[in-house]
Structure 1
Amino acid sequence: MAKSMSLLWGAGSPPCWRVMITLEEKKLQGYKRKLLSFEKGDHKSQEVLEVNPRGQLPSFKHGDNIVNDSYAICFYLESQFQNQGNCLIPDAAEERARMYQRMFEGQTFYEKLNNVIYYDFFIPEEERHDSALSRNKEALKTELSLWEGYLQKSPGSFLAGSSFSLADVVVFPTVAYLFRFGLSAGRYPKLGEYYALLKDRPSIRASWPPHWLENPKGHEALKDF
């Protein structure tokens, strides 16, 4: 069944990574995948636009079914293959509610991280202001404290509780970026423990960004956080 799936993806993209983790968790190895370059503008190519008119990655097909938003792909795969691989939506109502909440909050977390580490990339030079970047950094610090607290209060080792779920699928890539960019596990010990727990999970290790493997040393943009 995986042979009828195809994924256009970009290395290091958290939305793409979420999808690849889900495919691994659901034991759907063997799908067709093509690595494209953001730097070369491949995501705006005709090949992508034919699948995803927004010109974004990931772009995913399963037979004749097209699903492109990363959250939607994760839900689609879990619902289509719920009896295969690992179950990613908890049975218990309390954990399921927490999973949905953390999963959708994860998008805000990801955006606030992007507003800091990619500020110069997204904002034209003439529109950049130190005060705006400072506000973005304070917003990210507030967000980090929030997630540190969530993990502190979690009844288990994962975001929803005792089992790995879609919440972890979508949030872990953001956490990995934090430590790739120099976040201190000493200042955020629960986030550090969470990262250490999941980074060698088979589905995550199998989908680890290839350029991170080639260059394990990251950046230091968050070293003072």
Structure 2
Amino acid sequence: MANALVFYTNPQSRGQIIRWMLEEVGAPYETQILDYASTMKAPEYLAINPMGKVPAIRHGDQIITECAAICAYLADAFPEAGLLPAPADRGAYFRWLFFAAGPIEAAFTAKAVGWEVPADKQGMVGFGNFDLAIDTIAGAVDGKAFIAGDRFSAADVYVASMLDFLIAFGMLPPRPAFDAYLAPLRERPAYHRAKEIDAALMPKS
């Protein structure tokens, strides 16, 4: 098929974000499971993503990598799914989608590797410091059902996935604002389908 949708992933990866997004989109897609030590570094996949990382998608002749970019692309490519906000809400949509992909991702990477930005260098770093980044995203979701406007969007898939992952692995202390935002999103049918699919693909111990 000319516009076939192919999803490259590993169930133990950020591919879980895109699995949820694909289930929300509802379009048929093919899944290719890659192994970290072999197929992810094979020439065939490096032609898709030279970084040798997942997830990635191929949609017809388009190749998209990076979770936030994939979410944004799918929302645009499948408008019937309703995952792209109305124009009046696009500012918040893009702002928080890419804030989670930029400052939040960077803040947690720094924390995970034990790197703390010196106080006199925080102005040079996009996320400033860990607490500032977390307080900012907490403020963005506090009291809101959705991150942009009055309906669910691709930005919620990405932001909620990031918060969900970080809380689950003990990298982010729970907060009432996060709990209230995440609870109803975790009840979405597409979220449950995605989790069930990836759980079934996990290596058996």
C-alpha distance in 1 between matches for 2:44 and 2:60: 16
User: Which residue in the other structure is 2:44 paired with?
Assistant: 47
Once the two structures are superposed, the pairs formed by residues 192-203 of structure 1 within 5 Å of their partners are 192-203=179-190
What is the letter of the counterpart of residue 19 of structure 1? I
After TM superposition, give the deviation of residue 60 of structure 1 in Å: 1.5
| 1:81 aligned onto 2:78 | yes
C-alpha distance in 1 between matches for 2:56 and 2:152: 25
C-alpha distance in 1 between matches for 2:156 and 2:5: 23
SS of equivalent residue, structure 1 residue 207: helix
SS of equivalent residue, structure 1 residue 61: strand
What is the letter of the counterpart of residue 139 of structure 2? G
Once the two structures are superposed, the pairs formed by residues 41-190 of structure 1 within 5 Å of their partners are 42-83=39-80, 85=81, 87-93=82-88, 95-107=89-101, 108-117=103-112, 119=113, 132-133=115-116, 139-152=129-142, 156-182=144-170, 183-185=172-174, 188-190=175-177
Q: 1:163 to 1:213 in 2, by over 3 A?
A: farther
C-alpha distance in 2 between matches for 1:3 and 1:62: 6
C-alpha distance in 2 between matches for 1:211 and 1:26: 21
Q: Provide structure 2 residue ranges, at least 5 long, that are not aligned to the other structure.
A: 123-127
Q: 1:206 to 1:26 in 2, by over 3 A?
A: same
TM-score (norm 2): 0.78
CA contact (8 A) 2:71 2:155 kept: no
Q: 1:61 to 1:67 in 2, by over 3 A?
A: same
C-alpha distance in 1 between matches for 2:40 and 2:10: 8
Identity %: 26
User: Which residue in the other structure is 1:223 paired with?
Assistant: none
| Match of residue 30, structure 2, among 29, 32, 40 | 32
Q: 1:149 to 1:2 in 2, by over 3 A?
A: farther
CA contact (8 A) 2:97 2:155 kept: yes
TM-score (norm 1): 0.72
What is the letter of the counterpart of residue 146 of structure 1? T
CA contact (8 A) 1:147 1:191 kept: no
C-alpha distance in 2 between matches for 1:160 and 1:116: 28
How many residues align structurally?
192
Q: 1:210 to 1:116 in 2, by over 3 A?
A: farther
CA contact (8 A) 1:2 1:28 kept: no
What is the letter of the counterpart of residue 111 of structure 2? V
After TM superposition, give the deviation of residue 159 of structure 1 in Å: 1.0
C-alpha distance in 1 between matches for 2:189 and 2:83: 15
After TM superposition, give the deviation of residue 41 of structure 1 in Å: 5.0
What is the letter of the counterpart of residue 138 of structure 2? E
